C-alpha cells in the first residue's frame, strides 16, 4: 500500500471493488502475521459499563497484536446512553478527524446507508471477496444476513454481530419462565394456552403457593423493554401476529392477503391488549411494570416470589439456583394461533464494524476483523487466552479457568465483549453466558415447533425514502407505544379503538407502509 494514495484508492471503488484493483504488497493474503511490517490503527469503540475500562490493556488485544503485527489504539466512548454514543460518533464523522474504523459503535442501518452514501464509510464488497474468507463464508451460508447487510446501492459498508442460528437460545436472548414449584403446590400443569396462563396467574395471586401465609407472590415480572410493552411481543403470537419474528416488531405478513401489515393497526392486535388489560386490572403484574428498572426487578427475584418472568434464567438473573423455574412454550390463543413471535434474526447488529475513508490500510483492517468470524477467532474473542482464562477439557470442549470461576470480574483482564454490539460470530462452542445454560436449551425445545419459518433481518432504505420514512416511523411508533400502555393500563378505554386507528391513518400510516413495502420488495429480490 502506498501511504500517499487517495481516500478513494485506500477505500476501494464506490462499487465495492477491491482497493487498488490488486493485492496489497505489505499484507499477507493468509495466515499470521497479517502485515510484513508492524502497523498501528486507531479504532473508535463504544464501551459498555460492564466492559473493561481500558481495552489497550486487555490480554486478547495484546496477544492478537503479537499474532497479527497490528496494534490497535482503542479510543473508547461510554455506550450506556446510546443517544450520547451516537452524538459523539456523529460529531467525529462530521468533523473529519476520523479513526481508521468504528468498532462496537452501534451504527443503525440508517447510519450505515447515510455515511456510506457520503463516502465516509467505504464499501467492503471487494475487501470481503479478497481478504475476509470467514465473513464471505458466513454470508454465503446465510443469504438473509447478506441481504440485510447490503444497502440499496448494492454495497456492504459494515460487518455485523452474528449469532449462530442453530444456537437459538442466544438468538432469542431472554426466555419466558414459569415457577414449577408454584405449579406443583397449586396442582396445576404447565400452561399451554393464554387462558390456562391467566388461570395460573390468578391462582398465584390468590392461593398462596409459597405457603407462608402472606399475599406476597408476584404472578408476572419483567422490566424495561421486556416490561409492559414487551409482554405484547411475547404473547401476540397467540393471536397470529409476529409471524416473521421480532426484528420487525410491528410489521409482518397478513396470511389472508400475503401483503405486509402493520400489526398495531390490525383488528387482531386489539385482543392481546384486552387480554393484558385484564391481567393488569386484576393486579397480576409486578407493581410499576411500565417503569420498573432492571436492577430492582432482578433484586426482587432473589426472594423467589415470581410466578413467571421474562429474563435470561433464574441463575443468571437472580443469582439463585433453586431449580424452581422452567421455560414456557409459545402459548396457544383463543382462535388456535400459536406462533413464537419473539424470534430474532441472527443478524443481531448490522453496524458492529465499519472502515472509514481515512484508513490507508483497509486490506489489513479487513483481515484483522475477519478472524473473529471464525471458530478459532470466536473462541479467542469470547473466552480469552488458553490456559489463562479458559482451558480445553479432555473431550475437546472449553471451560473457564479456575481464576474466572472464582471471580467473574477477572474476565475483564482478558476480553471486551461485555455489552454486545461487537463484530464477531457467537457460537454454542465458544460462548458460555446464561443463554447457554441447560435450562435455556430445554426451553428452546418447547419453542422450536412454533418458530416462524422465516425471520426477517432489518430492511434497508434509500436516502430519499429515509427523508420521509424516519419522521413517520418516529411519530407513528411513539404514538403506538403511548396507546399500547394506555390500553393495557386502562387509561384509554377500548371504545377509543376506532379513533386510535383513525389517528394512525392521519399520521401517514399508508405512506409509511408503502415505503416499508418497497424496502421489503428490495430485500426479497436481493
pLDDT band at residue 473 under the 50/70/90 scheme: very high
**What tens digit of pLDDT does each residue of 350-400 get?**
999 999 999 999 999 999 999 999 999 999 999 999 999 999 999 999 999
The single-letter DSSP state of residue 435 is G
pLDDT at 23: 65
241 φ/ψ angles, rounded to the nearest 5 degrees: -95, 155
pLDDT at 229: 73
Radius of gyration of the chain (CA): 24
Distance CA 124, CA 17 (A): 8
pLDDT at 349: 94
Q: Are 273 and 484 in contact (CB under 8 A)?
A: yes
pLDDT at 150: 96
Instruction: Give, to the nearest 10 degrees, the angle between helix 267-281 and helix 463-489.
Output: 40
Cα 74 to the center of its chain, rounded Å? 24
Q: 452 vs 241, 243, 338, 345, 448, CA distance in Å?
A: 11, 6, 10, 11, 9
For 276, the grid coordinates are 393484558
User: Could you tell me which residue, 226 or 240, shows the higher pLDDT?
Assistant: 240
pLDDT at 474 over 50: yes
Distance CA 371, CA 382 (A): 13
pLDDT at 434: 87
pLDDT band at residue 483 under the 50/70/90 scheme: very high
Q: What is the 3-state secondary structure (H, E, C) of 285-299?
A: ECCCCCCCCHHHHHH
pLDDT at 43 over 70: yes
3-class secondary structure, 526: coil
pLDDT at 7 over 70: no
**What tens digit of pLDDT does each residue of 405-462 get?**
999 899 999 999 999 999 999 999 999 888 999 999 999 999 999 999 999 999 999 9
Mean pLDDT of 338-358: 96
DSSP 311-358: ES-HHHHHS-----EEE-PPPB-TTS----TT---SEEEEEEEEEBTT
Distance CA 135, CA 94 (A): 29
pLDDT at 270 over 90: yes
Mean pLDDT of 254-279: 96
pLDDT band at residue 110 under the 50/70/90 scheme: confident
Nearest of 264, 277, 330 to residue 509 by alpha carbon? 264
The single-letter DSSP state of residue 169 is H
Mean pLDDT of 112-132: 96
pLDDT at 22: 47
My answer on whether omega of the bond before 26 falls inside 30° of 0, hence cis, is no
Distance CA 394, CA 110 (A): 47
pLDDT at 2 over 60: no
pLDDT at 194 over 60: yes
The percent of residues above 90 in pLDDT, for the chain, comes to 87
Q: What is the pTM of this model?
A: 0.87
**What tens digit of pLDDT does each residue of 64-98 get?**
999 999 999 999 999 989 999 999 999 999 998 99
Q: Are 517 and 251 in contact (CB under 8 A)?
A: no
Alpha helices in 22-132 (DSSP H): 59-68, 82-95, 109-117, 125-131
pLDDT at 506: 98
pLDDT at 18 over 60: no
For 426, the grid coordinates are 457467537
pLDDT at 10 over 70: no
**What tens digit of pLDDT does each residue of 485-524 get?**
999 999 999 999 999 999 999 999 999 999 999 999 999 9
pLDDT at 450: 97
pLDDT at 15 over 50: no
Q: Are 231 and 220 in contact (CB under 8 A)?
A: yes
Least confident of 200-209, 253-262, 326-335, 456-465: 456-465
Distance CA 347, CA 163 (A): 7
pLDDT at 11 over 70: no
pLDDT band at residue 319 under the 50/70/90 scheme: confident
For residue 383, count CB atoms less than 10 angstroms from its CB and return exposed for 0-12, middle for 13-18, buried for 19 or more.
Answer: buried
pLDDT at 20 over 70: no
Contact residues for 329 (Cβ-Cβ < 8 A; gap 6+): 190, 192, 446, 447, 450
Amino acid at each position: 500500500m502506498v501511504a500517499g494514495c487517495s481516500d478513494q484508492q485506500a477505500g476501494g471503488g464506490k462499487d465495492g471493488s477491491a482497493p487498488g484493483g490488486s493485492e496489497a504488497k505489505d499484507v499477507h493474503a493468509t495466515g499470521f502475521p497479517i502485515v510484513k511490517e508492524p502497523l498501528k490503527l486507531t479504532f473508535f469503540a463504544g464501551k459498555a459499563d460492564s466492559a473493561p475500562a481500558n481495552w489497550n490493556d486487555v490480554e486478547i488485544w495484546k496477544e492478537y497484536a503479537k499474532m497479527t503485527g497490528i496494534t490497535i489504539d482503542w479510543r473508547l466512548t461510554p455506550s450506556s446512553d446510546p443517544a450520547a454514543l451516537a452524538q459523539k460518533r456523529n460529531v467525529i464523522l462530521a468533523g473529519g478527524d476520523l479513526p481508521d474504523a468504528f468498532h462496537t459503535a452501534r451504527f443503525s442501518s440508517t447510519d450505515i446507508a447515510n455515511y456510506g452514501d457520503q463516502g465516509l464509510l467505504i464499501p467492503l464488497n471487494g475487501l470481503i471477496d479478497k481478504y475476509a474468507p470467514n465473513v464471505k463464508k458466513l454470508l454465503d451460508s446465510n443469504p438473509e444476513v447478506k441481504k440485510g447487510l447490503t444497502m440499496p446501492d448494492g454495497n456492504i459498508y459494515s460487518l455485523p454481530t452474528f449469532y449462530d442460528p442453530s444456537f437459538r437460545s442466544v438468538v432469542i436472548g431472554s426466555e419466558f419462565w414459569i415457577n414449577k414449584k408454584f405449579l406443583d403446590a397449586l396442582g396445576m400443569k404447565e400452561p399451554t394456552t393464554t387462558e390456562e396462563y391467566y388461570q395460573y396467574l390468578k391462582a398465584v395471586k390468590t392461593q398462596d403457593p409459597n405457603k407462608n401465609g402472606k399475599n406476597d407472590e408476584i404472578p408476572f415480572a419483567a422490566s424495561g423493554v421486556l416490561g409492559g410493552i414487551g409482554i405484547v411481543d411475547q404473547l401476540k403470537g397467540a393471536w397470529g401476529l409476529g409471524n416473521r419474528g421480532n426484528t420487525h416488531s410491528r410489521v409482518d405478513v397478513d396470511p389472508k392477503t400475503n401483503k405486509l401489515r402493520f400489526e398495531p393497526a390490525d383488528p387482531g392486535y386489539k385482543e392481546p391488549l384486552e387480554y393484558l388489560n385484564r391481567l393488569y386490572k386484576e393486579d397480576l403484574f409486578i407493581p410499576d411494570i411500565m417503569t420498573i428498572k432492571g436492577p430492582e426487578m432482578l433484586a426482587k427475584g432473589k426472594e423467589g416470589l415470581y410466578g413467571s418472568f421474562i429474563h435470561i434464567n433464574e441463575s443468571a438473573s437472580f443469582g439463585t439456583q433453586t431449580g424452581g423455574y422452567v421455560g414456557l412454550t409459545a402459548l396457544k390463543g383463543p382462535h388456535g394461533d400459536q406462533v413464537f413471535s419473539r424470534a430474532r434474526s441472527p443478524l443481531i447488529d448490522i453496524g458492529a464494524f465499519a472502515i472509514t475513508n481515512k484508513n490507508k490500510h483497509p486490506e489489513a483492517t479487513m483481515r484483522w476483523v475477519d478472524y473473529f468470524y471464525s471458530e478459532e477467532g470466536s473462541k479467542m474473542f469470547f473466552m480469552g487466552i488458553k490456559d489463562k482464562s479458559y482451558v480445553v477439557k479432555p473431550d475437546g470442549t472449553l471451560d473457564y479457568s479456575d481464576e474466572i470461576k472464582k471471580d467473574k470480574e477477572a474476565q475483564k483482564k482478558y476480553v471486551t465483549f461485555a455489552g454486545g454490539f461487537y463484530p464477531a460470530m457467537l457460537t454454542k462452542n465458544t460462548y458460555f453466558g446464561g443463554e447457554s445454560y441447560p435450562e435455556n436449551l430445554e426451553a428452546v425445545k418447547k419453542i422450536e415447533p412454533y418458530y416462524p419459518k422465516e425471520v426477517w433481518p432489518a430492511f434497508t432504505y434509500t436516502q430519499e425514502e429515509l427523508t420521509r420514512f424516519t419522521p413517520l416511523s418516529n411519530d407513528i411508533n411513539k404514538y403506538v407505544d403511548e396507546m399500547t400502555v394506555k390500553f393495557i393500563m386502562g387509561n384509554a378505554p377500548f371504545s377509543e379503538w376506532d379513533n386510535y386507528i383513525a389517528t394512525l391513518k392521519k399520521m401517514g400510516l399508508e405512506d409509511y407502509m408503502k415505503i416499508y413495502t418497497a424496502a421489503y420488495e428490495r430485500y426479497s429480490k436481493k
